[in-house]
Amino acid sequence: MYSRIVGTGSYLPEKIMTNHDLEKLVETSDEWIVERTGIKQRHIAPEGVTTCDLAEQAARKAMEAAQVSPSDIDLIVVATTSADRVFPSTACLLQDRLDVRNCPAFDIQAVCTGFVYALATVDKFIKTGAAKCALVVGAETLSRLLDWTDRTTCVLFGDGAGAVIVKASEEPGILSTHLHANGQYKDLLTVNGGISETPDDFRAGRNYIKMKGNEVFKVAVNTLGEIVDETLAANRMEKSDIDWLVPHQANIRIINATAKKLRMPMDRVVTTVDRHGNTSAASIPLAFDVAVRDGRIQRGETILMEAFGGGFTWGSVLLKY
């Protein structure tokens, strides 16, 4: 028994913040941001719009594409670092919105690798027979965690959501998943505190994303190179067997480095970082949905998804679409 993606969906808030808009907030420039990150704009959720709001829109589009109803879904997993509430989980809030009843629903927090972790988890549920039709969502409102006076981070991140429906299938779908983490790098990419560590700052909303960019870049390039080798070796495949790379959309230089490792031309790499920025756990399903809906990714093709995020966490999913 395999698990197979049968429908995709995504959603972006209407508000767009360009690099020129950011020039009015911090000392930066469009040229500087594009040269170092590849980002030209990002979507920002307006006040009152939550992560669950974005997740709901993406989920409904994926359900429509897969032609499934709420009664068909027997598992919901949401990957997010920007949950609506401390509890209940965003997955439970989404479950209520979609009128799905009684199935397991939970969040996964692996930052930018969250969707890969979620898809790997759902794959195990389906292969063991514990689920037959799962909704997997990556959704973020990371703009709520930004210090808009910190030019090293506020230029990078955006809001959005992507979703897939995964069903049990006798045809090959997800071929393998590979997950890793190393907590010794915890301070290189982090939010500076939280509920337990800094409760006063948490209550006052003074916890923001902090990043040591050069160090993160070096580790990301090395670990993503290794995960490519690990994934290909596990499946006894050559680099030429991969039809599409759908990477986490963090930085165009990291994406270019991974494509070079695969000897893959950039026209076979799905990139949305210029339009979406880094949407963390939402970036891979967002990019995947874009490429499915515009006709680039076709049924039967082999897709490599890979991501790297705070923790550090990193991982990959190899699948037949």
Report pLDDT digits (tens) over 288-313.
999 999 999 999 999 999 999 999 99
Domain boundary among 136, 170, 204: 170
Q: What is the mean pLDDT of residues 150-176?
A: 97
Domain boundary among 116, 148, 170: 170
* Per-residue pLDDT tens over the stretch 19-60: 999 999 999 999 999 999 999 999 999 999 999 999 999 999
Residues with a known catalytic role: 112, 248, 278
Number of domains into which the chain is organized: 2
Three-state DSSP at 88 gives coil
Q: Partners of 167 in the beta sheet? A: 4, 133
Residue 242 has what pLDDT? 98
Do 136 and 12 belong together in one domain?
A: yes
Residue 167 has what pLDDT? 98
CATH number at residue 150: 3.40.47.10
* Per-residue pLDDT tens over the stretch 256-274: 999 999 999 999 999 999 9
Domain that holds residue 159: 2-170
* Per-residue pLDDT tens over the stretch 224-245: 999 999 999 999 999 999 999 9
Do 136 and 232 belong together in one domain?
A: no
Residue 101 has what pLDDT? 95
Do 185 and 311 belong together in one domain?
A: yes
Q: What is the mean pLDDT of residues 269-286?
A: 98
Domain boundary among 131, 154, 170: 170
Do 91 and 194 belong together in one domain?
A: no
Q: What percentage of residues in the chain have a pLDDT greater than 90? A: 99
* pTM of the full structure: 0.98
Residue 250 has what pLDDT? 96
Do 26 and 148 belong together in one domain?
A: yes
| Cα atoms found within 13 Å of the Cα of residue 185, Cβ hemisphere only | 22
H helices, E strands: number in the chain = 10, 13
* Per-residue pLDDT tens over the stretch 168-180: 999 999 999 999 9
Residue 305 has what pLDDT? 98
* Per-residue pLDDT tens over the stretch 84-94: 999 999 999 99
Do 207 and 306 belong together in one domain?
A: yes
Average pLDDT, the chain: 97
Q: What is the mean pLDDT of residues 177-187?
A: 97
Residue 197 has what pLDDT? 95
In DSSP notation, 152-198 reads TTTTTB-EEEEEEEEEEESS--EEEEEEEE-GGGTTTEEES--TTT-
Do 180 and 164 belong together in one domain?
A: no
C-alpha 175/C-alpha 224 separation (Å) is 18
Do 244 and 161 belong together in one domain?
A: no
Do 71 and 11 belong together in one domain?
A: yes
Q: What is the mean pLDDT of residues 138-150?
A: 97
Strand duo 174-181 + 159-169: pairing: unpaired
The structure tokens 């692996």 sit at: 110
Do 231 and 310 belong together in one domain?
A: yes
Do 59 and 163 belong together in one domain?
A: yes
Residue 183 has what pLDDT? 97
Do 10 and 156 belong together in one domain?
A: yes
Rounded to the nearest 10°, the torsion over CA 246, 251, 255, 261 is -140
